[in-house]
Structures are given as C-alpha cells and as structure tokens.
A = this chain, B = another copy of it.
Amino acid sequence: MERSVSSTDTHRRRSFWGWGWEDEALDDRAAGNIAAAAISRMGGAEAGSDTSLMAAPKVEDLDLPESRVSPPDHLGAIVTADPYERASHTYGKSFRDVLRALIGEFRNAPDLVALPRKERAFADLEALLDWCASNRIAAIPYGGGSSVVGGIEPVVPDDYRGTISIDLRNLAGIEEIDSASRAALIYAGTMGPRLEESLRPHGLTLRHFPQSFEFSSLGGWIATRSGGHYATLYTHIDDFVESLEVITPGGDIVTRRLPGSGAGPSPDRLFIGSEGTLGIIVKAWMRLQRRPVFRASADVRFESFEDAVEAVRQISQAGLFPANCRLLDPTEAILAGGDGNVSILVLGFESADHPVEFGISRALEIARDLRGVCPPEAVRIQNRDTAAPAGHEGAAGSWRAAFLRAPYGRDALVRAGFVTETFETAVTWDAFFDLHSTVTREVKAAIEGVCGDGWIACRFTHVYPDGPAPYYTVVARGHRDPRSRLAQWDEIKSAASEALLKAGGTITHHHSIGRDHKRWYEIQAPPLYREALRSAKAALDPSGILNPGALIDPPPPR
C-alpha cells in the first residue's frame, strides 16, 4: 500500500459518524468543491442550489440513550459504555448511516461495547456470549464497522433486553506463517493495512483489497463474503479461506486446514457469509500469494457499450484470468477521462512468477476485434527488472489510492445535501442487457420522481465466465430535510432492488445482506433453505443472541 496507515496508530481517532480517520475528513473548502462539481455535472442550476454543508457532529453533543444493561463484574475489564465507543458502534458506513449520524440520531446505539483481549480471546468471548445468552442480550460481532447494509447496526427485535457490540480489534495480528503452503493463521480482528504489513517481510500478500481495505478486518471480510482485488478467478474472500476457528454460544468449531476436500458439505462455507449470525470468527488460516513483480495494464476505449460488454464476456471466457477487468460505462468513465459517450475497459494482468505480456496481448486482440481502441504505446508493461520500488505501484497504485479515499468524498456529498450511494449485483451474461436496461430505467425514473436531478453510473467490479458483477453508483440532488432525504434514497433503493431481482440478479455480489437487504434476500433465497439455515443456527446459537435482525430471523429460543 502506498500509505502506511496502520490500524495500530494510537494517536489518530476513527470518525464515529463518517468514513475513516477523523483528521482525514475533507475540510469545508474541499467538500464544497466536490459538491459544486456534482451540481455542475447535473447540468447547471448551480445558482439556485443550496449546497451548504451540514456540520460534523461532536460526541459530547450527542444525546445517547441510557444503557439498558450493565456488565457483571467479571466482564468489567472488557466492556465499556463510553459514549465515543457507543456512538462509533451504532452505524456502518452507508449513506443512510452517515446521514443519520450527521443529524445526531443515535437512539439505536449499542448499550455496551465489548473489547475482548487477544491473550484471552476464547475465554473472553465465551464469557461474553454466556452472559448474553443468559440475559437475552443481542451480541453483535464488529470488525471494522464498514458495513453498508446495516450489518452491525444494533437494531434487534423488541424482546431483547439490550445490545452489545463485540469489537474484535484487539484480536489482531498473525499467529503463524507456513511458507511452504503459502498460508498464514491470522486473527479475525486484523485490519487490512496491518495484515499486509505483517506479510510483506515474508514476500507474501493476501492481495485482497476491498474498497474498505483500511478500515475493515479479516473476520469481517469472511463473515460478509467480501469482494477484493481480483476481477476474475479469486474474486471473493471465500477462495482464500483454508480453515476457520469460530466460537459460538454452543461451543467452538475449528475446521481442518486443507487445500481441498470432498468430505461432506464444506464446514467453512457455512460460516463464510453468515454475517455474525452463526458464530464469531476468531482466527482463520488464509491462502496467500507471493507479491507480484510482473504486471501489464491498458485502457481500452469503446464507442459502443454493447461492444465493450461483449469484449469483456469473451475475455472472461478465454481462460486468461486478468487481475483487473473493470468496464466503466460512459457515465462512470467520465471520472477516468471519458467524454460521456465512450466506455473504458481497464485491463490488468499480474504475476509473481512470469511475464504477463501474453495475457494482455490476447485480451487486447479480443477487445480490438470488437472495435476497442488502445494504441500500443498505451500498454504498460512492468517486469521484474523494471519493477517500481516497494510501495510504489505506478498508475494502478494511484488508482487504488484514489479508490480507497473515495468514501471521504462521499461523506462530503452527504454533508452537502446529496443522495449518494452504490448497489451491486451479479447476473448471467444472457440476462445482463435486460437487467442493465431495467435497472437503469427504473432507477432513473425513481431519481426523477423523487429527486429531480441526478445520475446513475455502472462499472463491472468482477467478471465470471458465466456473467458480470455490475456495480452501480447513484448521485442525486437530495431534500434539505434529512428525514425526507432518507426517504428519497429508500425509494430509489427499492426501485433498484426490485429491478435486480426481477431481472435475475442477486441482491448483493459482495456488500452482503445485513438488515438493509433482508427483505429482498427473503425473496431471493428459497424459503426452505432459509429454514435450514435457521435450523442450523438453533444448534449453534440456541438462545438466538447472535446478530438478530441481520440475514435470517433467529429461531424461537429453545
């Protein structure tokens, strides 16, 4: 990573209302510039626009509800009701979260926050879960808190006596490295930067870079089936999980480290994507890569979006496995230098073992056959000998740095009165154009109906031989009244979600279900399968205390 910001930085504080570090939030001038750019992109009317900035809230001004429960003595050392901690654990980082935090709406703050200790990880977690189970307190596992789907928000059914957010940040670091198998046993609370910093001296990398990389944890990635660096092949964190150590109210589950197995349904796959409802992931053996030293990349421009999609389909089916294969539609491409008419395909190949010219040449051949334009001098090749110094990864590195900082800009737009959010899906190739036109049409109609001005843009974050994972960004002029503005987004989100499901997509490719997607998940996932999951949960979490309200309804307490 370019910036060596470690989650162990003790002199810096995480924002309790918005993205990232408090001291990295955009100042008013920078925020104003971003707002003005968005307004001008909507076709003027800047003069009549009120983009005055909402002030960032202060912890000391918050009106937090009284904690309804207090910890017993034996948990006193690891449980706190500190207002900053409670406020920080109230929301994830979606548009809805940031806007509600900005207006000081914290009535769902967790009653308590727990910080189990690394040296007593299993004992602390067991004691916490026992106490919660005995007192019907909802226990919400918390990694980096970067959920954009209400995954860690302490909104639980009425019959719980209280809520406790269990923050795993102290359960961080690498316990063991197996260089021969290229794998490491890593604590679940390890955040992206620390994880990569610890592996770098060994020449290894997990190479999983979700946009939340700086502020999300390994356990969170696994619990939510995070999507990472690779556009093809190793797209989800799922592929990198070799084994898990999980604690549940019913006991521990430690799966066997195996490179592959055919022994019954995969136990790891039950917990991957379980979103804190089945157990708390404590450690995982993760499959690693050697750090790449060969790279090739290129941007290809297409006059026709349909041609570009067809090129991506053919590339995804050619067995070339690009690390990057990001198609930007004309609207999305504006930010990458497009003119609003051209689509841009960003291709990247990389390897720790061998030059990758062959892969990119063949991919460009396919793209050019479909009228893609990429002058030969625009193809960037980086081989071992020409490798940039560690930490400097050229254009791709700069792009990633900007990508990782984008959420700070999003916060500025929220402060300036916009509705701004993303949603994503995956769908088979045969259904893509129908899905894309349906989603675009329905969302545009919703934007026009509820907001007036705004836009929707699409890129592919990941592609598979059988279909792409389209990712949509919505930016619209919002109501000045925050409650009305939340309602505006809710309407747009409903229109988008209905369209996704109707057209054969998934409600989420990598953002997960949480609380916000639950009603669409209940349409997508077969009812009897959800019943089987709930039944499995009853064996692991008989009191139903683990993250109730997210993903699946807890079964009735035994």
Contacts and interface: CB of A to CB of B under 8 A. Distances in A.
Q: At the interface, is chain A mostly helix, strand, loop or mixed?
A: loop
A98 to B, nearest CB: 22
Given A242-B466, A273-B266, A256 B506 contact: yes
A54 interface: no
A427 B264 contact: no
Contacts of A521: 263-264
Contacts of A265: 269-274, 278, 533
25 contacts: A178-B428, A180-B313, A181-B465, A182-B466, A183-B466, A236-B260, A252-B526, A252-B528, A253-B528, A255-B526, A256-B504, A256-B524, A258-B428, A261-B509, A263-B512, A264-B525, A264-B551, A265-B270, A265-B278, A266-B269, A318-B351, A318-B352, A320-B354, A534-B539, A536-B536
A273 to B, nearest CB: 5
A260 B270 CA distance: 16
A214 to B, nearest CB: 20
B466 A506 contact: no
Interface in A232-281: 233, 235-236, 242, 248, 250-267, 269-275, 278
B178 A257 contact: no
A513 interface: yes
B267 A273 contact: no
Q: Closest 3 interchain pairs by CB?
A: A259-B467, A259-B464, A225-B262
How many of these chains are in the complex? 2
A358 interface: yes
Contact of A353 (B262, B275, B287, B362): B362
Given A256-B504, A256-B524, A263-B506, 17 more contacts: A178-B429, A180-B428, A181-B467, A224-B262, A242-B466, A254-B526, A258-B426, A259-B427, A259-B428, A260-B467, A262-B510, A263-B517, A265-B269, A318-B351, A318-B352, A320-B353, A320-B354
A40 interface: no
A552 interface: yes
